[in-house]
Amino acid sequence: QVQLVESGGGSVQAGGSLRLSCAASGPSYNSYCMGWFRQDPGKEREGVATIYIGSGSTFYADSVLGRFTISQDGAKKTLYLQMNHLKPDDTGMYYCAAKYWYRGSCRPDSTDFSYWGQGTQVTVSS
């Protein structure tokens, strides 16, 4: 069983930065595809960024390309999302998710992630 715990959300002004963390526990960490997703009330959940833990390959939604960076620390089994130049449209609950890499696409538009964290709120004010 994979468990995910997010931290690092908060409130910032537009143009600011935040870094989210997601601590993972469970077997075969290097076999995961992991990602960050966000959802604002009244909107559909949106994939933000994903990463193959084993290879380090990363994928980003067009809306965050060049502003957000997904990374991971294998020794700590922790996933990160560095968010720079934040905009009010980035506001939402951010969720960490994981699945085993052989369970299909690891791109942000994938809808079949198996494991989810409880979420951390990000609020960007103008």
- pLDDT tens for 69-114 read 999 999 999 999 999 999 999 999 999 999 998 888 999 999 899 9
The answer to whether 57 and 49 have CB atoms below 8 angstroms apart is no
Q: How far apart are CA 122 and CA 66, in angstroms?
A: 19
Q: Which two tokens stand for residue 73?
A: 């620390």
Average pLDDT of the residues in 113-120: 96
What is residue 42's predicted lDDT score, i.e. its pLDDT? Answer: 86
- For 36-71, b where at least 16 C-beta lie within 10 A, e where not — what string? bbbeeeeeeebbbbbbbbeeeeebbbeebeeebebe
With bands split at pLDDT 50, 70 and 90, how would you rate the model's confidence at 19?
A: very high
Read off the pLDDT of residues 30-70 as tens digits, 9 standing for 90 and up: 999 999 999 998 889 999 999 999 999 999 999 999 999 99
CA-angle at 91, arms to 73 and 77, nearest 5°: 15
